[in-house]
A = this chain, B = another copy of it.
Amino acid sequence: MKLSKQNLAQRADHIYDVLIVGGGPAGLSAGIYLQRYLLSTLIIDKGKARSFWMQELHNYLGLPSDTPGRDLLKQGKDHYLSVDGDYLNAYVESVVEEENIFVVKVRIGRNKPTYATFRTRYLIAASGIIDNLPTLDNMQNVFDYAGHNLHVCLICDGYEMRGQRVGVFGGSENSLEVAFPLGWFTPHITLFTNGAFEVGAELHHRLNTEGYTLVEKPIKQFIGENHQMTGVELKNGEVVELDAGLISMGSKYHADYLKGIELDYQGGNLITDKMNRTSHPRIFAIGDLKVGMNQVIVAAADGALAATQIWRDIRRVEGRRSNSSNIFSTEKVA
């Protein structure tokens, strides 16, 4: 059921089998599987998953290639609620382990927030990442195009950019390396540093060899209309015409709540085994937060794998749950 400040008290004494941080594709898929395994599940979502911003999912089997990310999220959330999962819009502040139970502290609401605490046996970190965006004087100008033809994912949108004049917006010298795989799809590449960092002689040479253009001056704004970016205006007044953009500025990892627990990371990503278990036996990581490929279909499969492993773990200890009643309403009359 959908939890809110009003009905939270009903779950005060409950120990969930699994608490999932993040209601994106990974978390929703895990939640659907877990509830179908008769495990009591709570998804806590802060809203605005990375996929919420995707205007078109082009490569998700089963969905038309112009399906907005938010439609997938809505379908998944309805599906999850239909199998009696608990869902709460809130922000997870911290997780503390107390005698094989995780105590999860959350903040509900932005203005006049209230705080609540949940308890769970297993934790799934599905809170993902969010892409860093170019910092311009008017950020609304960036939001107008990001997720439309100002892309953030080469794997997802390389095909859309084939043969186009593409601007790459980097956050560091390293991040500009994306130009080379992008070159698979189009030879017309202009790279922008926005005047924020230096590019060394070696990369200069490699870009030059490939015929790519490097623009190191500061950007004033993106130009275009109806969310279709058609170019970049520099602060010096020059305009560079483009058909599309690719942002390559790294990501922010939503994992602060795990700081109190020792886990193995590779960069910002959690290291997991093939069933998505982290170095802690009762913490799993799925979707963009774990090491692996950041794709919606992979995140959804991650959720299925983690849920299944947790079910196996719990089943091996408990044996059966067919007669028990510690899940809220899954009884089916034969």
Chain B residues in 8 Å Cβ range of A155: 308
A65 touches B38 (CB 8 A): no
Contact (Cβ within 8 A) B304 A293: yes
Could you say which interface size class chain A belongs to? 35 or more
* Residue among A187, A297, A298, A331 with max Cβ neighbours from chain B (10 Å): A297
Q: Does A218 count as interface, using CB distance less than 8 angstroms?
A: no
Copies in the complex: 2
**Would you list the 9 A-B pairs with minimal beta carbon distance, nearest first?**
A301-B301, A36-B159, A29-B61, A61-B300, A298-B301, A183-B320, A164-B334, A186-B322, A62-B72
Tell me whether A52 is interfacial, beta carbon within 8 Å. no
Cβ of A59 and Cβ of B38 under 8 Å apart? no
What chain B residues lie within 8 Å of A25 (beta carbons)?
61
A window 292-334: CB within 8 A of B: 292-293, 295, 297-298, 300-305, 308, 311, 315, 319-323, 330-334
With contact pairs A61-B300, A293-B304, A295-B304 given, residues A243 and B334 touching in the complex (Cβ less than 8 Å): yes
Q: Decide if A33 is an interface residue (CB 8 Å cutoff).
A: yes
Q: Taking the complex as formed, is A203 at the interface, i.e. its CB lies under 8 A from any CB of chain B?
A: no
**Which chain B residues lie closer than 8 Å to A76 at the CB level?**
61-62
A62 in contact with B60 (CB, 8 Å): yes
A63 at the binding interface (Cβ < 8 Å): yes
> How far is A58 from B304 in the complex, measured between Cα atoms in Å?
12
Q: Mark A50-83, 1 if CB is under 8 A from B, else 0.
A: 0000000011111111010000100110010011
